[in-house]
């Protein structure tokens, strides 16, 4: 199997979470995207199947290695499976818990990139990419104050130029690669869900 099938399953999961949380926390700085309510409701209702498949498939795909990146990845997958077992409980929807699950992918991706490619690898793409999504989307769902959000954004705004002063500014496009992939995929997934829902609705008339 291609490695992209494993990575793709995880990306699809992350995109689905962004979509189904759109009405609660928005997609861009607290503002929701124009996604139909029935599309969001459909993804909310059936996302458990996707989460379980992505976690199990990724666990099956990955080799069992004792690197820090792989170990944190396995731990993350076990947490996702544990999250699936919490369905219909208040813990399943605890916003700090679910935010932690989302943010852990930044740690996992960064560590794997460092282990595989060393300090000159693409680890900033994962670190700043996923932390960038945090700044744009995720803090608006847990009630962080505006001051806290500005402090986090400011820290990233200082850290990223510092890293690329060392790496070279010709590679600064790494920062936007993951957001540039995930946000358009939210629209693609919304359309892929919206079209069949409209066909079913039309067939029932």
DSSP the chain: --HHHHHHHHHHHHHHHHHHTHHHH-SBTTBPP---HHHHHHHHHHHHHHHHHHHHHHHHHS----SHHHHHHHHHHHHHHHHHHTTTSTGGG-HHHHHHHHHHHHHHHHHHHHHHH-TTSSHHHHHHHHHHHHHHTGGGGTT--HHHHHHHHHHHHHHHHHHHHHH-GGGTTHHHHHHHHHHHHHHHHHHHHHHHHHHHHHHH-
Which of 16, 20, 63 minimizes the C-alpha distance to 38? Answer: 20
* pLDDT at residue 52 greater than cutoff 70: yes
What does the pLDDT look like over 104-122, one tens digit per residue?
A: 889 888 888 888 888 788 8
Split at pLDDT 50, 70, 90, the class of 143 is: confident
How many structural domains compose the chain? 1
- Which domain does 79 fall in, by range? 3-204
Average pLDDT, the chain: 88
* Per-residue confidence (pLDDT) for residue 72, from 0 to 100: 81
- State what percent of residues in the chain have pLDDT above 90: 45
Q: What is the pLDDT of residues 56-106, one digit of tens each?
A: 887 777 667 777 777 887 888 888 889 988 988 999 989 999 999 999 889
* pLDDT average, residue stretch 135-149: 88
pLDDT of residue 63: 65
- pLDDT for res 19: 95
> Token digits for 149?
């959000």
């Amino acid at each position: 199997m291609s490695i992209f099938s494993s990575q793709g399953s995880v990306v699809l999961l992350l995109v689905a979470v962004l979509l189904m949380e759109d009405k609660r926390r928005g997609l861009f700085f607290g503002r929701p995207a124009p996604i139909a309510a029935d599309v969001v409701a459909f993804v909310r209702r059936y996302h458990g199947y996707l989460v379980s498949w992505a976690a199990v498939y990724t666990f099956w795909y990955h080799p069992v290695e004792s690197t820090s990146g792989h170990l944190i990845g396995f731990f993350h997958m076990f947490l996702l499976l544990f999250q699936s077992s919490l369905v219909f409980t208040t813990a399943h929807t605890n916003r700090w818990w679910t935010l932690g699950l989302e943010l852990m992918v930044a740690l996992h991706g960064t560590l794997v990139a460092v282990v595989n490619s060393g300090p000159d690898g693409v680890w900033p793409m994962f670190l700043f990419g996923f932390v960038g999504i945090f700044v744009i989307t995720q803090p608006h769902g847990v009630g962080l104050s505006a001051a806290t959000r500005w402090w986090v954004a400011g820290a990233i705004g200082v850290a990223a130029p510092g890293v690329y002063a060392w790496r070279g500014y010709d590679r600064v496009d790494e920062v936007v690669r993951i957001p540039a992939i995930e946000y358009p995929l939210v629209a693609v997934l919304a359309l892929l869900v919206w079209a069949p829902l409209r066909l079913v609705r039309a067939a029932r008339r």
